[in-house]
Amino acid sequence: MTEPLGRLLERSADAAPGFRVDVPSLVAAADRRQRRRRLAAGGACLAVAAAVAVGALAVRGTGRPVPEPAPAPSPAPTVAVDPAASRPLVYAEGTTVHVGDATVTAEDPVAFIDVTDDGVVYESSLDGTLWFTDGTSTAVIGHSGPAAAPTLHLGTVTTGDTGSLVVWRDRDGRRAGPLTVYDTSLREVVGRIPVGVEDWTVLFVSEDEVYLDPHSTRLRRFDVATGHTTTVTPAGLEAAMARHTRMLLQAPADTVERPLHTPGTSFVQVGHRLVPADADLDPRPVTTLAGDALRLRLPAGYSAPSLATGGSVIRMSQWLDDDHVAVWATAGGGDLPPQTSDLLVCRVPDGLCRVEVARSAGDYVAPWRG
């Protein structure tokens, strides 16, 4: 067995029979699906109206890919977030950007959204243009080289769980440029980090520092105040992360993974519980920095959105304050962006969760902590 692995895989792939494209059937399938989605959106509106009238949400029999009913938002805010010390809950439905109670209309359907202490960074139409809005005023803040999207923004556009910094790789004509560091409270670029053409990952963004992994060399720390980049040890990065309370830790799956690269972001629903899981949805314990196990409990009767064939994708969305996280539950299936979602708010200390935005249908995007 001395052939390269790539060549062996090529032989296996070549052994598969030919693929025949049937364009008319693909067009018909696309038409059917879009028709169903339009019906589903109408059905969802009617169902919500009925829920208000009778106190229960019943969504069935419309052919939409959501077999399970979802509860309406809890009638009493049992998981209240302190408005003085919180970030707004943010998400987008099509062109409507929600910033807490405010809404803003984007030019195109939103493909990516993230949050800072001051508002929302979003990208629409996957063209790399980054917008910022605080719910009242909206402006272009830059252009990202690689386009961001719900499932691939990690390392493309990054914000911190506290503070006002947004980091992205700038676009310089057709070539990727330096990393741009933008402060949404000042509404201006506060730093540019030359990164060359090598691979890199933004590991952590704090209120005044950006930590990078250039992979080929040692970890780097960019200090916004001085504009200087210095090397830092993994222990130094861990110490910086430990100074922040908005952090969950997940044990590495094996020795080749570094724990700081695998924050607890995925969950599976098991009865009334949200169980932290790894990328393959195998359960993996998550703890707070204080060492307490994260145990999230769902409202009675809650069932995460899923396709008719089953399958939900449930992910950490954003920290609202030091004690509350938003969790994004979507119907799985690879739709980009997902078509059906719930946003839940969970209180970390006691694990109590409530549905904040119930069973939205339509192109739906929320921050995704990867």
Partner 1 sequence: MRRASDVAAFSEFAEACGPSLFRTAYLMVGDHQLAQDLVQEALVKTLIAWPRLHDRANLAAYTRRIVVTTSVSWRRRRSFHERPSDHLPEPRVAGDPGEEVVTHDAVMHALLAVPPRQRAAIVLRYYEDLTEAQAAEVLGCSVGTVKSQVAAGLKHMRADLGPSFDETLAAGREVTS
Contact positions with partner 1 (CB under 8 A) in 200-259: 200-201, 203, 213, 215, 253-254, 256-258
Q: What is the x/- site pattern for partner 1, positions 272-311, by CB under 8 A?
A: -------xxx-------------------------x-xxx
Site for partner 1 in 38-67 (CB under 8 A): none
| Binding of residue 175 to partner 1 (CB under 8 A) | no
Pick one of 43, 71, 88, 109: the residue that binds partner 1 (CB under 8 A): 109
For residue 87, give the DSSP letter: P
Pick one of 126, 190, 224, 289: the residue that binds partner 1 (CB under 8 A): 126
CA distance 227 to 231: 14
> From the CB of 215, what's the least distance to partner 1, in Å?
6
Pick one of 7, 54, 55, 271: the residue that binds partner 1 (CB under 8 A): 7
* Candidates 41-49, 50-58, 181-189, 334-342; binding stretch for partner 1 (CB under 8 A): 334-342
SS3 (DSSP) at 9: helix
> From the CB of 36, what's the least distance to partner 1, in Å?
11
| Binding of residue 16 to partner 1 (CB under 8 A) | yes
For residue 291, give the DSSP letter: S
CA distance 332 to 334: 6
Write the single-letter amino acid at 99.
V
Pick one of 35, 218, 261, 272: the residue that binds partner 1 (CB under 8 A): 261
Pick one of 125, 229, 245, 288: the residue that binds partner 1 (CB under 8 A): 125
**Can you list the positions of beta strands (E) in 251-311?**
266-270, 273-277, 286-288, 296-297
SS3 (DSSP) at 47: helix
* Candidates 9-17, 38-46, 52-60, 288-296; binding stretch for partner 1 (CB under 8 A): 9-17
| Binding of residue 155 to partner 1 (CB under 8 A) | yes
> From the CB of 163, what's the least distance to partner 1, in Å?
20
SS3 (DSSP) at 334: coil
Nearest to 250 by CA among 234, 267, 232: 267
Write the single-letter amino acid at 203.
L
Q: H helices of the chain, where?
A: 5-14, 23-54, 234-242
CA distance 207 to 23: 51
